[in-house]
Structure 1
Amino acid sequence: MSRTGGFPSSGGRTPAWGASACGWKDGTVTDAALPQPSSLDSAASAARVVRALVAGGVHDVVVAPGSRSAPLAYALSDAEDAGLVRLHVRIDERSGAFTALGLALGGQRPAAVVTTSGTAVGELLPAVMEANHAAVPLVVISADRPGELRGTGANQTTVQPGLFGVHVRTGIDVGAGEDPIRAIQDALRAALGHAIDGVPTAPRGPVHLNLAFRDPLVPAGFGDAWDTGVTGNTGVTGNTGEDRPATLPGADPAASAGADDGGGTALMPVGGAAGGSVGADGGGAAAVGSVGGAEAPVSADDGGTAAAGPGRTGTGRTVVVAGHGAGELAAVFAAHLDLPLFAEPSSNARFGGSAVAPYRLLLEHLGAPITRVVTFGRPTLSRPVTALLARPDVEHALYLPAPVAWFEEGRRPERIVDTLPELVAFAGRGEEGWLRSWREAGAAADAALQTLLADEQRITGLHVADAVWEHTDGNLVLGSSNPIRDVDLVAATDQHPLEVFANRGLAGIDGTISTATGVALSAGIPTRALLGDLTFLHDVGGLLIGSGEPQPDLQIVVLNDGGGGIFGLLEHGAESTTARYGPAVERLFGTPHTVDLAALAAAYGLRHERATTLEELDTAMERPIRGRSILEVRAERSTLRDLHARVRRAVASAARPA
């Protein structure tokens, strides 16, 4: 058994996947005191793999068909028949990996993807990279040829150990006939950040198990293979609160207790507070004098600023930036200290009286007086926010109470804070009128924006983003590029979906349909996804779900403007560029197409409808989400730059009084 990979030098915040809630008591899965076999046949080895996955809290496994991975497929089939796991079969490994990523995100527990050998393993790399940077415990299991066939030119044989390099927390190569139990245990610990009692000591993230199998690959006497002596807590608790205790054949019932109420850690929302409980009054405000259960050293004198601490200037002009995965703690923190809150949609903090909706456009006009910034999560969307964080005259604190994968020690200039009392002392309470000025400017800018949109003759991406946010009360998945930025500009702060997901680890457009499918399947919550047409087409294979496979309740809203709209809003769309390179920009960046989405939907057996007016859009989204469907909204790409220029002018005019 050999290992590759390791933990990147990083630390910070991650979603609160509880190790105990995933079937762990003290960070280990117990193996019964039975003689360990000196050499397991493929069926027995696969059965032990599945037993250890189940004992470690893996509930969902995505399987791509293949011969070398057949022993795992048979073992998983038996486990599903016993009610221990739920299988999802995908013929496209890339789609399968992103589906597993979505299952892990939505279920807030590790999910696995299984492939055969060869190019199938390479197809997993995009999802593994996203899981790395987003700190998602994705368990990659690849089947391989035995050692004697490697390097011989044997069919479908390549160098699979170490294939994912720095993008996995650990990589373990298990030889044919070796007992895989310890490898599974170590891999799951690494996926959960070596969490002990729910507290990670390193960033969570993907792991790679490369398992070699010898012929025969079809089991004989397979019914006895389950009696391998592996026991552990097999209870699985999802975010629906449903407890699923399961006792494996031959396992000790006393070692198979439910995951919660038996020493387990209750699951928290993705991106939720990892540093303690948050006292709230139901309106997003913390109990007076405490944030996250910690006493806040806030003084009533000196204009309401906090007691002096390191880096304090006492001006009280602090803002809170909530990036991807920040969680509701950011909203509670801002409300408690009367500070403006700039919350990205996937922060899941975009609510409460401190939140300012069109913040990124207002920064140009109101940003100069800012003296201090507190950041939760990872900002990924806005150049104005990036510019704010880079200002040398602004003090900046980044709240990192637990490890994350995207942070590397010494690479960022801001002050790192890991306790709430220190963060409160740094931020201070907003000075008189500070929050009010931002809220009034935000309300005026939002009204100006809505007036402008009401006068538009054609439906735009901003209209669609507004409607999607308003009508979604379940889960929402946002595609990269313009859709998530449109939502960031117009989404109201007095209402929000149940949970917002987005692949912001690397912000790619690939795998978004599959990720949304996994999110919807994870807990059976109706889910809506907002995608651009290129994002949709890039993962159109994710629409293929085989007959008899679990089907999600998923509505895919596609803003179809016939190409890549975001490039027209960047430097590529500037007149100085298009005057010389107009046709090249359209071909190389706009990538125009004339794909018939209705025909694609019909080919995959999905319902399709097209909305051409706001009334049709609202009607389509008011209906309950049942099964899978595609809602296509056509928009004009050539006028997008002019629209956003008018939006900026309208916001500037509204912000002038402030």
Structure 2
Amino acid sequence: MWAESTTAQASGPSVIAAVVVDELVRGGIETFVYCPGSRNGPIGFELSRREAAGDLRLHVRLDERSAAFLALGMTKATGLPTAVVTTSGTAVANLLPAVTEAHYSRIPLVLVTANRPLAELGTGASQTVEQTQLLASQVLHVQHLQVGTEPDPAMNGSVRSQICHTLAIGRGRLRGRPGPVQIDVPLSSGLPPASRVVPFPSGRPEGRPWIRTAPRDRAAAAPHAIDLTRGTILVAGDGADLDAVPATVPCVVEPTVDAGGRRTLHPWVLDHIRPEQVVVCGRPTLHRQVGVLLARRDVSTVLVSDGDDDWVYAAPHIDVVTAHPVFGGAVSPSWAEQLEHVDRTVRRAWSDTLRDDGHRRTGLGVANAVLDALEPDDLLWLGASNPVRDVSLTGCPPFGVRALSNRGVAGIDGTVSAAVGAAVASPDRTVVALVGDLTFAHDSAALQTGVLEQVPDNLIVVVSNDAGGGIFELLEQGHPLYRSAPFDNTFERIYGTPQNVDFAALCGAYAVSHRTVDTDELGAALRVARRAKRPVVLEVPVTRTTLRGIHAAARQRVGASLNADASALIS
């Protein structure tokens, strides 16, 4: 049976494109990001037709790298797979940064890449590369659709089943973990269809997918008992799910983890306690304190994992890996009191440190000001360099605020594009992106929006401009030694890397509102930006050269307070 009846003759590529789009929609893909090209033209025409029919949402972007991160942000914000459609050649190669992030973040990104027919591969044809191998190490599955240049009677079921199989892998229903997948579509030509309506073979009745796959039952895994009467700390990194964790379990939680309203511990608490056991959920990557704790031989470690990870957290003394932890017993009141005391001390030290006017004029102060200005139901997108760490150190997202960040490979690439994707996918909530100046400059082209495209008018980008790479100030290479002879200005050139970019002019070129504000003005500026109904960039000039000293001052305050408390107890 054919889904559309018409006397117009449909070309092979148009029919293949229609079948591919139809089965993707049936498989639950509601949003597509399309990058213009000739080879993928038949897919573009079909996407446009199906959008007009109300079957899907379509966004068009010029840059495949930015488009892939846009789709990544959409998927993170909604939890629903998003498809990116490209032409052949280097267009596919430009997907790699976002695909790598999706791979390590377990994001089911769907890559639909148009290709030359099999007979043309390896012949030197224009825009022909080995594109089924370009992304192979970072996708869970590459499906090169087995179709000829013209449809045949067996094509419909074959193509549809291949797409269903690929989507099931991407969602984690066949191989246990979700992630990006690639559907490579050979098309003999990019010619548009002969008519608006393309006849194509029908799918299953009632809009069902060709093949249905049920989610795997992870609860069927053997349970592992965790005794909470022992001194226990739970460390939750990006991707952690705390729904099954009792609210009484003491937790150190990264900003991108939904704490469910529970009270959490400051990460610096780990420097001053000696737990008996540590439970690790998700993928913690922010704080070195976690690695130091997990490397201790006198601490038993339980890693919560479904067994389908490509990695095991870098701790040499993990005792148990389990997919089904079962918490039993009660947390000792003395243990809970000790943790709360250290947590209060650390947070008070940071609060006192940031009261200094000069200390507020840093990325730490900007993060603190942003947290104070957030409202329930906001979405906070954090740059993967210092901003996400600054938020973790100076506070935590308020209850009701969701925080997202590209923590899979923790690169700055595509950060603004991903935030734009989150804003476009969440039009009813304000999206506040907190990024550094290098991150913003690296991905500023994400602000480019086509005249006919949806504008992310609910997006506010806060640029903490410290004129360079502030994170390196806190690492080993940021030691004052590397700012003087014999190293001279080496640090500034290869790590600080200050740029000569006029952000106001840059935003003006993209018709985006820009305003430069002081840290103390940021809260009021954010309130005004909420009412702008257009993308707004708030640039906050700060310094980075004092960061090392600020961290040292905060640590000194913590140590002095805890030592004084210990002396008082002894006396």
User: Is TM > 0.5 for Structure 1 vs Structure 2?
Assistant: yes
1:554 to 452, 459, 472: 459
1:184 to 141, 149, 163: 163
**Distance in structure 2 (CA, Å) of the matches to 1:325 and 1:558:** 26
* Matched-pair identity in %: 37
Alignment of 1:635-654 (within 5 A): 635-654=542-561
Indicate how the Cα distance of structure 1 residues 31 and 439 shifts in structure 2: closer, same or farther if over 3 A, else same.
farther
Contact 1:469 1:497 in 2 (8 A): no
Higher deviation after alignment, 616-625 or 369-378: 616-625
Contact 1:340 1:439 in 2 (8 A): no
Alignment of 1:493-642 (within 5 A): 495-524=398-427, 525-552=429-456, 553-579=458-484, 580-614=486-520, 616-623=521-528, 624=530, 626-642=533-549
Instruction: Name the counterpart of 1:25.
Output: none
Q: Does 1:443 align with 2:348?
A: no
User: How far 1:556 moved relative to its partner?
Assistant: 0.6
Alignment of 1:300-449 (within 5 A): 316-329=230-243, 332-333=245-246, 335-336=247-248, 339-349=249-259, 351-353=261-263, 355-357=264-266, 359-360=267-268, 362-364=269-271, 366-367=272-273, 369-401=274-306, 403-407=308-312, 413-421=318-326, 424-425=327-328, 428-449=329-350
Structure 2 unpaired stretches of 5+? 4-9, 567-571
Contact 1:134 1:405 in 2 (8 A): no
**Distance in structure 2 (CA, Å) of the matches to 1:577 and 1:486:** 24
User: How far 1:577 moved relative to its partner?
Assistant: 3.4
The amino acid that maps onto 1:650 is R
2:101 to 130, 144, 148: 130
Alignment of 1:253-268 (within 5 A): 254-255=206-207
The amino acid that maps onto 2:395 is A
User: How far 1:194 moved relative to its partner?
Assistant: 2.3
Q: Does 1:116 align with 2:87?
A: yes
1:453 to 332, 354, 359: 354
User: How far 1:583 moved relative to its partner?
Assistant: 0.9
The amino acid that maps onto 2:203 is V
**Distance in structure 2 (CA, Å) of the matches to 1:345 and 1:642:** 24
Instruction: Name the counterpart of 2:41.
Output: 70
Indicate how the Cα distance of structure 1 residues 406 and 519 shifts in structure 2: closer, same or farther if over 3 A, else same.
farther
Contact 1:187 1:207 in 2 (8 A): yes
Indicate how the Cα distance of structure 1 residues 31 and 536 shifts in structure 2: closer, same or farther if over 3 A, else same.
farther
Indicate how the Cα distance of structure 1 residues 123 and 414 shifts in structure 2: closer, same or farther if over 3 A, else same.
farther
Alignment of 1:13-412 (within 5 A): 41-174=12-145, 175-177=147-149, 179=155, 180-194=159-173, 201-215=175-189, 217-225=191-199, 227-231=200-204, 252=205, 254-255=206-207, 316-329=230-243, 332-333=245-246, 335-336=247-248, 339-349=249-259, 351-353=261-263, 355-357=264-266, 359-360=267-268, 362-364=269-271, 366-367=272-273, 369-401=274-306, 403-407=308-312
User: How far 1:228 moved relative to its partner?
Assistant: 2.4
- TM, length-normalised to structure 1: 0.77
**Distance in structure 1 (CA, Å) of the matches to 2:124 and 2:313:** 40
**Distance in structure 1 (CA, Å) of the matches to 2:34 and 2:165:** 22
User: How far 1:343 moved relative to its partner?
Assistant: 0.8
User: How far 1:371 moved relative to its partner?
Assistant: 1.4
Q: CA RMSD in A?
A: 2.9
Indicate how the Cα distance of structure 1 residues 508 and 58 shifts in structure 2: closer, same or farther if over 3 A, else same.
same
Could you give the per-residue CA deviations for residues 8-28 of structure 1, whole angstroms, max 9, x where no partner exists? xxxxxxxxxxxxxxxxxxxxx
2:365 to 463, 467, 475: 463
**Distance in structure 2 (CA, Å) of the matches to 1:646 and 1:465:** 18
Indicate how the Cα distance of structure 1 residues 610 and 85 shifts in structure 2: closer, same or farther if over 3 A, else same.
same
The amino acid that maps onto 2:172 is G
The amino acid that maps onto 1:470 is D
The amino acid that maps onto 2:441 is L
DSSP 3-state at the match of 1:608: strand
**Distance in structure 2 (CA, Å) of the matches to 1:500 and 1:135:** 17
DSSP 3-state at the match of 2:551: helix
User: How far 1:651 moved relative to its partner?
Assistant: 2.3
The answer to which structure, 1 or 2, has the higher relative contact order (CA under 8 A, 6+ apart) is 1
Contact 1:544 1:604 in 2 (8 A): yes
User: How far 1:182 moved relative to its partner?
Assistant: 2.2
Structure 1 unpaired stretches of 5+? 1-29, 33-38, 196-200, 232-251, 258-262, 266-273, 277-293, 299-304, 307-313
Indicate how the Cα distance of structure 1 residues 275 and 450 shifts in structure 2: closer, same or farther if over 3 A, else same.
farther
Contact 1:326 1:349 in 2 (8 A): no
User: How far 1:224 moved relative to its partner?
Assistant: 3.3
Indicate how the Cα distance of structure 1 residues 587 and 350 shifts in structure 2: closer, same or farther if over 3 A, else same.
farther
User: How far 1:628 moved relative to its partner?
Assistant: 1.1
**Distance in structure 1 (CA, Å) of the matches to 2:334 and 2:265:** 15
User: How far 1:216 moved relative to its partner?
Assistant: 5.5
**Distance in structure 1 (CA, Å) of the matches to 2:92 and 2:447:** 21
DSSP 3-state at the match of 2:393: helix
DSSP 3-state at the match of 2:522: helix
DSSP 3-state at the match of 1:223: coil
- TM, length-normalised to structure 2: 0.88
